[in-house]
Amino acid sequence: MAKPSAPAASVPAASYPPVFHAPDQGQACAEHPDDVKYWVYPEHRGWLLSQAKFLKDWRRRFYVLKQGFLFKLPSDDLSPENRYKIAWSMKDCIDVSFPPVDEAKGPTLNLIMKKGYKANGREPELETVVLVADSAEERNLWFGALVAAKSKRQFQFQFQFNAAVGLPSGPASLSAGHAANVYGNTIAEELSKLRLDMSDIKKDVSTMKVENRENADAILDQAERIEDTVGSLADGIARDNAFGTDGGYGGGYTYGSPTVSSIHSDSYELGSNSEFFSGDEDVGFAPIPPPPPPPPKAFVDPADNPTEIFGERCIGVQNSFAPHEWVQDGLCGKRIRVLWRAREQRLQAAGNTRSTGKEQWWAGYVKASNPTRGLHMVQYDDGEAECLNLGKEGTLHTIAENGFGPKDIGRRVEVFWAFQERHQLLSSKSGSTRRHCNASSGKWYAGTISECRRHRFSGPEYSGEDNYQNFKDVYQKFISDAAVIKYDDGDVELLDLNQYEFRYISSPRVWQGQKVSLLTDNKLSSGGFWSCTVVTAPKHPGEAAKVVFESGIMTSVDLKNEDPTVATVWHMKEADVIPFTMEENPSTSGGAF
């Protein structure tokens, strides 16, 4: 796609210091750093250590944040004469985070920025900017300021882009046909180049002198399959669900295609011969920013015609509703599992579709309620979200009052073994993996939750004595939140904790840099679940953690209080959990701090 030309500069282009802009976001959509008077009332400023470009030695530089740009200056002289060395646009910032371990120089921040395209022009090149502050408090202030600037700048860019193309600011369905009309030639040209590249690969592999000819044949087969897919796309054959149902796009407040690698799949099962099925599985070409949508369809209230939208059960509604329609009710914050039927195309909140190869139960939490539409938003642990009518009889789901989720990895737990109840272990120090309880009154066994797994539980052959659906639910059910328990005696068991009586005996882990979704009250925001990052972890029982919201607001929250009457409700995504090691040795009273 041709970029819009940059506005005329007041000074020769060669005199500009380098400024990093994402190549897919033209400068016409944002101000140039030379338009920012960074020496007048900067939003944040201070000395930070950073590494030189070539020698990689640490140097002390003065940084200024203003109007969505981070400026690197040679001194703290705030004047037009103190010319900046580099300016980063925060709309090109992918992430602002804490590293797992600070640099030896001090409290550290990592900024992942878009820098440019690689030589092949296919992937954006990223760079990590490492900054070290004088103190943890100063680092926390910089973190809040940068996160707020990133959020504000990217929202402003999206608002400007939407206004330019006539797209409303907010979730909306987009026209796939219009995208093809506007960008079809460019896409076809790129795909044709890719097809030529695949032909070259095939020629190169054919002439390779390899000892193992089978490897070369496998590479050739894969290249041919990719070439066929590229050819089909170039000829205009696209997936029905590339833009979601009815032209819905995986949009929301951001642009770009849904992540196809995040599709729900039985490929996560352990030791299973899964039969994967999905319309998303073989396409890796991401569409460019969306064009204007057609006029939206009038909303049909489910109460007036429930089968037109939901059928016999709800399999997803796109979130095109105003933010104020989403409120909190008694279900919000609770753990939930939703049944996904085999090969059923489900519409996600963002507008994209997902499916599974086999019947599966996917876990998450209830994020919000829309009483006007009769919907609840379910936030899955893997990052997907669905708007569902949980009141429909066919929308099978289970609610857990004391559920297990990704945030509970590393917690101490006690599991009740009933008298003569048989357990199949993953491993045991004694050798035998079959166990049962001989205590007539049952017994509580203590251990640590070390992992959360996707797993399909297998059991005995169906005898016909029980209802078959109940039998499947207990013995042959796939769940996305199975817990690996490492008992204190060395035994290891994989459990569906919803099927057992258990109790936590330690608090959740909280660490510096942890990303959580926190249920707030009106004192902090408009209410609801909000993303935030832990900037200061508690070091002692009863101590609160300091968190920074995406708006830059910093506050203290007790993330370890387990009293259900006053406990803070929060959750995590799978991708944000750091692996747990038994060396952390959580205590039976306070957990790992």
pLDDT tens digits for 11-49?
333 333 444 443 333 333 346 778 788 888 888 999 999
The pLDDT-based confidence of 224 (bands split at 50, 70, 90) is low
Residue 161: closest CA among 256, 89, 228, 241 = 256
> To the nearest whole number, what is the mean pLDDT of the chain?
71
Least reliable range by pLDDT among 34-48, 111-125, 286-300: 286-300
> Which pLDDT score, from 0 to 100, does residue 379 have?
94
Residue 380: which residues within 8 A CB-CB, separation 6 or more? 362, 363, 364, 386, 480
Least reliable range by pLDDT among 203-217, 382-396, 487-501, 528-542: 203-217
How far apart CA 390 and CA 387 sit, in angstroms, is 9
pLDDT at 589 over 80: no
Average pLDDT over residues 395-409: 88
Residue pLDDT, tens place only, 544-579 = 888 988 878 888 888 887 665 666 789 999 989 988
How far apart CA 459 and CA 477 sit, in angstroms, is 10
Residue pLDDT, tens place only, 248-261 = 322 222 222 223 23
> Which pLDDT score, from 0 to 100, does residue 400 have?
85
The pLDDT-based confidence of 415 (bands split at 50, 70, 90) is very high
Per the DSSP assignment, residues forming a β-bridge with 495 are 483
Average pLDDT over residues 304-324: 68
DSSP line for 401-426 = TT---GGGTT-EEEEEEPBT-EEE-S
What pTM, to 2 d.p., does this model score? Answer: 0.61
Taking the CB of residue 255, how many other CB atoms lie within 10 A of it?
20
> Which pLDDT score, from 0 to 100, does residue 91 have?
81
Least reliable range by pLDDT among 267-271, 288-292, 490-494: 267-271
Residue 318: closest CA among 253, 379, 241, 244 = 244
> Which pLDDT score, from 0 to 100, does residue 201 have?
67
Decide: helix, strand or coil at residue 140.
helix
User: Which helix (H) or strand (E) element contains residue 455?
Assistant: strand 443-456
Number of helices (H), then strands (E), in the chain:
5, 27
> Which pLDDT score, from 0 to 100, does residue 587 have?
47
3-state SS of 483-523?
A: EEEEECCCCEEEECHHHCCEEECCCCCCCCCCEEEEEECCC
pLDDT at 310 over 80: no
> Which pLDDT score, from 0 to 100, does residue 591 have?
38
Q: List Cα–Cα distances, 33 to 14, 91, 110, 144, 299, in angstroms.
A: 15, 12, 22, 21, 43
Residue with tokens 């990217």: 154
Residue 370: which residues within 8 A CB-CB, separation 6 or more? 321, 325, 326, 327, 376, 377, 387
Contact between 489 and 413 under an 8 Å Cβ cutoff? The reply is: no
